[in-house]
Structure 1
Amino acid sequence: MKKPLKEQKTVLLILLSNIFIIFLGVGLIVPVMPSFMNIMHLSGQTMGYLVAAFAFAQLLMSPLAGRWIDCYGRKKMIIIGLFLFSVSELIFGVGTHVSVLYLSRLLGGISSAFIMPAVTAFVADITSVEERPKAMGYISAAISIGFIIGPGIGGFIAELGVRAPFYFAAGFALITCISSLFVLTEPLTKQQLLETIQLKKDTNFVSDLKRSFHPLYIIAFIIVFVLAFGLSAYETVFSLYSDHRFGFTPRDIATIITISAIFGVVVQIFMFGKMVDKLGEKKLIQICLIAGVVLAIASTMISSYLAILLITCFIFLAFDLLRPALTTYLSKTAEKEQGFIAGMNSTYTSLGNIVGPALGGILFDVDINYPYLFAAVILFIGLVITMMWKEKQSTGSLVK
């Protein structure tokens, strides 16, 4: 019998802190990157490659990390991931050569591949099917909050020096790592871990990747890819689009993004669980995809600041609800293989995050409206794919 969430507040808080620190660390460095770029004499192309290196390392490591999470335990992978993240931020802070920065980003991608699926699997293990949507909503909110306050904190810390935010992120991650070491208790027994190792001894990275194409999983994984693809394509050009079409200042753009993110966090924390209870994951996913299609197209037809703010609030909300809805659905299909599912979830997300911004940037150079229209098409394809979900593939609240 699993304990109610209210009796596991400390454990849940530590797990959410683990996710939060990763995205806080990403956000912290945003304000100082232009200055850091000038100090290091880096080109825009190099900065782009540094971003890609993180996503590429995460993409390659995620399936393997998923296997290790199931075989060696959630707690070990979380602690290793946090330690690697702390080291990666420290290396970036002290780095004086571009090769060192690449090493930092590769370690950062690997650490993210460990932490994200391990925390997701841990939460799935300790929550009942009824309370899991609420917990997944908290995870999504932790991600959003990290993104929201990261740049603000980074700008404040940067007053101490352009490298200070990296040192802060490294220290914060190390503290969280130590807290996890002493507070978290591995949710799987030694017997369960041994059974998983035995089960997976005849499988490998390639076979796991092939297994992700199983009818039970593939549609949801495609939606994960579509979400990451469409969202990253949309977000990549948002600031460029706002600047080129409307002449918005950085402050105008930051205000829109911040208000939209806060709106999304509030809904995730207080309403996501109730939405899943009432609609089920499948229907909620479809509603969010429809909203994404309509609002992405509407983004090309508006001009007032208030209209842009409203559209952005609701399209970001749709994306924010999609993430935990998909994660909840996948965790219900996983049974004893939460690590495998969470790892593949991370893999398909990384793949979308690599391809989406690249195509979004190319389309922006052709026509500034094309990235939004393209995102709408991709989300519509995702909606059509969800129609292929069959009753026999559904579990829990998906059976409607």
Structure 2
Amino acid sequence: MTALRSRFFPQKGERLERDVIILGVIAFFVMLGFGVVIPVLPVYVRSFDVGFLEVGAVVSAFALMRLIATPFVGRLVDRGGERTILAIGIGIVAVSSGLVGLAANYPQVLLLRGAGGIGSAMFSVSAMTLLLATTAPERRGRAVGFYQSGFLIGGMAGPGIGGILAVISLRAPFFFYSATLVIAGLVGLVLLSRVDARPSADAAARIPMRQVVRDSRFIAACLANFAQGWGSMGVRSALIPVLVVELLHETAVWTGVAFAIAAVVQTIALGPAGRFVDRVGRRPAIIGAFAAAAVLMMAIPFVRSLPLLIVLLCAYGVVAAFMGTAPAAALGDAAGPRNARPVAVFSAFSDAGAIVGPLVAGALLDAVSYPAAFASAAVLLLAASLFGLRMPRQERPATASQ
């Protein structure tokens, strides 16, 4: 029992790097504000007398601009440094979000949310690059888990605050979002290590992109991130609210309850998951977690009771903790430190899955059935698991070819 505890749970003297903790705090404030805005945004857009298509366009604009901007952000980070690009990205989202609250018409909201997507891409790529660069390989799983816990906790707290602010005004949540981003940006500027001024040797030691893209760990990480974006952020978030109302005949509030419980479970599981990824390996975590996620994804559309759905979502939350930490750690092993372009590509795969997934799943739901829609995610999750078999058993960080 003692050996098991020492293997999967933190021991005295094993501490995460200072910048990792700061990035977790920044993630909390970013997601707190984002969570405040999400439940209010569709209602706010509708207040401009537009249809549901226009509402969807505003939601998609943020994700689409993230996807378009992400490949270019890697070069910006390589040239300007993680800390600088992180602060600029958060600043863009802060300003654009505040201006959304002041928007006079629908086109302004659409353009400003698109601009926010660009800033979000700058933040996410620079933050992950810095996280991987400042973390020792044997602690990468734990570091990613801690960083993601900041997002999850902020995301859980945000919607409740957003509901309260919406009673005051539909514009108030956007000002709150802007304020939380200002706090996040200041925390980054003041507390993060000043790593912008890099020795020229860093660029010489950086692993070439052509070498990274041939690494099976990088390919597995990107495929896993695409499947994760399609399944978790796309299909699960888009279809389960409909399933709760139309198949289970429950009110929409139970969707929020189910997701909140699952998020708590996932947050609790992140620590042990990160420890597993660091101690046992990225390969077994990807193979096992994505295979389990595929089975759970296929089981969800056959559920006919709310309690069973919550149980399945909690189980999915546990495996999602592994799916979030293992691919990012594998990315860091393949790309090495201070290498933003592979991080940008990795991030773009998730965005692509989150954009395309709901569209394909929605079309399958309209044309075929719920099982067919969820199967679109299950197939990709299983493919990610199977490709994980191609990862090396001895997982060691890559080095630049001499």
How high is the TM-score relative to the length of structure 1? 0.89
- Structure 1 range deviating more: 76-85 or 21-30: 21-30
Structure 1 pair 336–249 and aligned structure 2 pair: CA distance change class (3 A) = same
Q: What count of residue pairs does the alignment treat as equivalent?
A: 383
Structure 1 pair 146–123 and aligned structure 2 pair: CA distance change class (3 A) = same
Q: Where does residue 321 of structure 1 map in the other structure?
A: 322
The Cα shift of 1:309 comes to 0.8
CA distance in 2, matches of 1:44, 1:5: 50
Deviations 1:251-298 (A, max 9, x none): 211111100001100111x31232224431110111111111111122
Deviations 1:16-50 (A, max 9, x none): 23223332232211332343133111211111111
Q: Where does residue 246 of structure 2 map in the other structure?
A: 244
Q: Is the 8 A contact 2:30 2:180 kept in 1?
A: no
Q: CA RMSD in A?
A: 2.4
SS of residue paired to 1:127: coil
Q: Where does residue 381 of structure 1 map in the other structure?
A: 383
- Choose from 17, 28, 38 the match for 1:30: 38
Structure 1 pair 259–123 and aligned structure 2 pair: CA distance change class (3 A) = same
Q: Where does residue 336 of structure 2 map in the other structure?
A: 335
Q: Where does residue 203 of structure 2 map in the other structure?
A: 196
What percent of counterpart residues are identical? 23
Q: Is the 8 A contact 1:19 1:115 kept in 2?
A: no
CA distance in 2, matches of 1:44, 1:212: 42
CA distance in 1, matches of 2:304, 2:113: 38
- Choose from 87, 98, 112 the match for 2:120: 112
Structure 1 unaligned spans of 5+? none
Structure 2 unaligned spans of 5+? 1-12
SS of residue paired to 1:61: helix
SS of residue paired to 2:301: coil
SS of residue paired to 1:354: helix
CA distance in 1, matches of 2:35, 2:54: 19
Structure 1 pair 175–300 and aligned structure 2 pair: CA distance change class (3 A) = closer
Q: Where does residue 138 of structure 1 map in the other structure?
A: 146
Q: Where does residue 219 of structure 1 map in the other structure?
A: 220
1:12 aligns to 2:13 (yes or no): no
Q: Where does residue 76 of structure 1 map in the other structure?
A: 84
Q: Is the 8 A contact 2:24 2:149 kept in 1?
A: no
CA distance in 1, matches of 2:186, 2:40: 28
Q: Where does residue 311 of structure 2 map in the other structure?
A: 310
Structure 1 pair 359–273 and aligned structure 2 pair: CA distance change class (3 A) = same
CA distance in 2, matches of 1:154, 1:273: 31
CA distance in 1, matches of 2:127, 2:225: 18
Q: Is the 8 A contact 2:101 2:175 kept in 1?
A: yes
Q: Where does residue 295 of structure 1 map in the other structure?
A: 296
SS of residue paired to 1:94: coil
The Cα shift of 1:241 comes to 1.1
The Cα shift of 1:8 comes to 4.6
* Aligned pairs (5 A) from 1:33-48: 33-48=41-56
CA distance in 2, matches of 1:5, 1:107: 40
Structure 1 pair 18–27 and aligned structure 2 pair: CA distance change class (3 A) = same
Q: Is the 8 A contact 1:126 1:187 kept in 2?
A: no
How high is the TM-score relative to the length of structure 2? 0.88
CA distance in 2, matches of 1:161, 1:40: 14
Q: Is the 8 A contact 1:62 1:114 kept in 2?
A: yes
Q: Is the 8 A contact 2:31 2:154 kept in 1?
A: yes
Structure 1 pair 358–307 and aligned structure 2 pair: CA distance change class (3 A) = same
CA distance in 2, matches of 1:132, 1:346: 17
The Cα shift of 1:62 comes to 1.1
